[in-house]
Amino acid sequence: MNGRENVAISVLIPIGGRHSDPAQLYADYRAGLEALGVPYECIFVVDGPRPDIAEPLLELARRYPEVKLVGLSRPFGEATAIMVGFQQAQGRVLLTLPAYFQIDGAEIGKLVAQLESCDLAIGYRYPRAGGWMERARRGLFHRLVAAITGVRFNDLGCGARAMKREVLEEIALYGDQHRFLPLLADRQGFRVGEVRVKQSKSDRFEGSYRAREYAHRALDIFTVFFLVRFTRKPLRFFGMMGVITFSIGAILTLIMVVQRLVFMSPLAGRPAFLLSSLLVVLGLQLIALGLLGELIIFTHSRERKDYQIAEVVQFPAPERLEQR
C-alpha cells in the first residue's frame, strides 16, 4: 500500500557521506514498510551533489511511485536534510532512517507501534556488534551525555526514529543536532521512548574517528547542555560563571591590596594584579551578558512555547447535568 494519497507515514532518508547501495537498502526498508499495511511515502534527501548514487536513486524513483528525491545544492548537514525532508512530507507519522544498513528493516514496525505510548521512539540496537574499544567509546559518550543533561539514552547514534509530526513542528534542527533530537524533544515536553531493535547484519562499520570528530562531538555535547539546561534562563549559566570569575578576581585583588597596605609590597610589575583585574572585569561582563540574554528571552517570551499540553479535562457543570 504505497499510494501518495492520504499518506500515513513519511519516511525521511538523508544521504550524506556514508551510504549503502540505494536499491538494496530500499528493498530492506520497503519490506518492513509494506508489512505495516498503511500508505507511505519515502523521501530521499541528497545532501549536496552525489554523482556516484544519482542514477540508482533515479531508477528507484522511476520504479516506485512512493519514492521522492530532493537534492540540496551543497552539503548542509544531516539535520538540515531531515528538516528539508520534513517540509516535503505529508504523513502524520515521520520515520527517519539512515542511508546505510543500521537496523533490520523488519524492525520498523516496532518503532511505529511504540508511538501509541510516546511521541518519539528511537531505536536501540541490541545486542550491539563491535569490539571493546567501540563499546568503551560508546559507553563513555552516553554516560557523559547523561551526566550533563540528566537524561539517559543507550543509542543516540541510531538514525532510526519514529515520531509524531508535532515533534518536528516544534523543534527546528540545525548543525549536527539530529543526534540529540531525543534530548531536545524531552526538554520540549514530548514523551520519548527507546525500542530494542535488531542490528542489521550488514552494519559493520569498522572505520575510525579522527581527533577532529571527537572535538566536534565534545562541542556538540556542550551546545546541547546549554540548550537543555539554560535556554530559558541564560542568567543562571552566565551569571554562575560570572560570579565565580568575579569572586576569584576580587579575592586575588583584595589579597594584593592588603599586602600593599600592610606589608608595603608594590603593585607595579606584578602580573597577578593584572590577571585579577581582568578576572573582575570578565566576571562583570559575563553577568551583564546573562542579564542581556534574560531581557531578550523576556521580550520574546510570548512568541516561544517550550511545553506540550498532554490532556485537557472538563466536566459538565452541575446545572447542565440536571437539565439532561
Convert 154-175 to b/e letters by CB count within 10 Å (16 or more is b).
bbbebbbbbbbbbbbebbebeb
Residue 136: its H or E element: helix 132-149
The reported pLDDT for the residue numbered 28 is 94
Grid cell digits, residue 146: 547523561
The rounded distance, in Å, linking the Cα atoms of 54 and 69 is: 10
Which residues, at least 6 apart from 151, have a Cβ–Cβ distance to it below 8 Å?
145, 182, 183, 186, 228
pLDDT over threshold 60, residue 23: yes
Nearest to 193 by CA among 271, 117, 264, 83: 117
Answer yes or no: are the C-beta atoms of 65 and 2 closer than 8 Å.
yes
pLDDT over threshold 70, residue 322: no
Least confident of 11-15, 74-78, 150-154, 265-269: 265-269
The reported pLDDT for the residue numbered 310 is 60
The reported pLDDT for the residue numbered 311 is 62
The reported pLDDT for the residue numbered 3 is 46
Give the phi and the psi of residue 197 in degrees, each rounded to 5: -130, 155
The rounded distance, in Å, linking the Cα atoms of 214 and 236 is: 28
pLDDT single digits (tens) 265-313: 776 767 887 888 899 999 999 888 888 877 776 675 555 555 555 666 6
Answer yes or no: are the C-beta atoms of 90 and 41 closer than 8 Å.
yes
pLDDT single digits (tens) 147-175: 877 888 888 888 999 999 999 998 888 77
pLDDT over threshold 80, residue 93: yes
The reported pLDDT for the residue numbered 180 is 86
The reported pLDDT for the residue numbered 317 is 60
The rounded distance, in Å, linking the Cα atoms of 125 and 195 is: 8
Residue 75: its H or E element: none
pLDDT single digits (tens) 170-229: 888 877 788 889 988 888 889 999 999 998 888 765 555 666 666 666 777 777 777 666
% residues pLDDT > 90 (the chain): 39
How far from 209 is each of 59, 137, 216, 243, CA to CA, in Å?
Answer: 33, 11, 11, 38
The reported pLDDT for the residue numbered 315 is 64
pLDDT over threshold 90, residue 96: yes
Least confident of 21-25, 80-84, 110-114, 173-177: 173-177
How far from 4 is each of 10, 39, 66, 67, CA to CA, in Å?
Answer: 10, 7, 6, 9
Answer yes or no: are the C-beta atoms of 57 and 19 closer than 8 Å.
no
The reported pLDDT for the residue numbered 100 is 92
Long-range contacts of 24-28 (CB under 8 A, 24+ apart): 25/99, 25/100, 25/101, 26/60, 26/64, 26/67, 28/101, 28/104, 28/105, 28/200
pLDDT over threshold 80, residue 110: yes
The rounded distance, in Å, linking the Cα atoms of 65 and 57 is: 12
The reported pLDDT for the residue numbered 314 is 59
How far from 180 is each of 9, 28, 172, 192, 225, CA to CA, in Å?
Answer: 22, 26, 12, 12, 10
SS3 104: coil
Range ranked top by mean pLDDT from 126-130, 248-252, 292-296: 248-252
Question: Taking the model in full, what pTM does it have?
Answer: 0.74
Least confident of 14-18, 24-28, 174-178: 174-178
Range ranked top by mean pLDDT from 91-105, 137-151, 288-302: 91-105
The reported pLDDT for the residue numbered 265 is 73
pLDDT over threshold 90, residue 112: yes
% residues pLDDT > 70 (the chain): 82
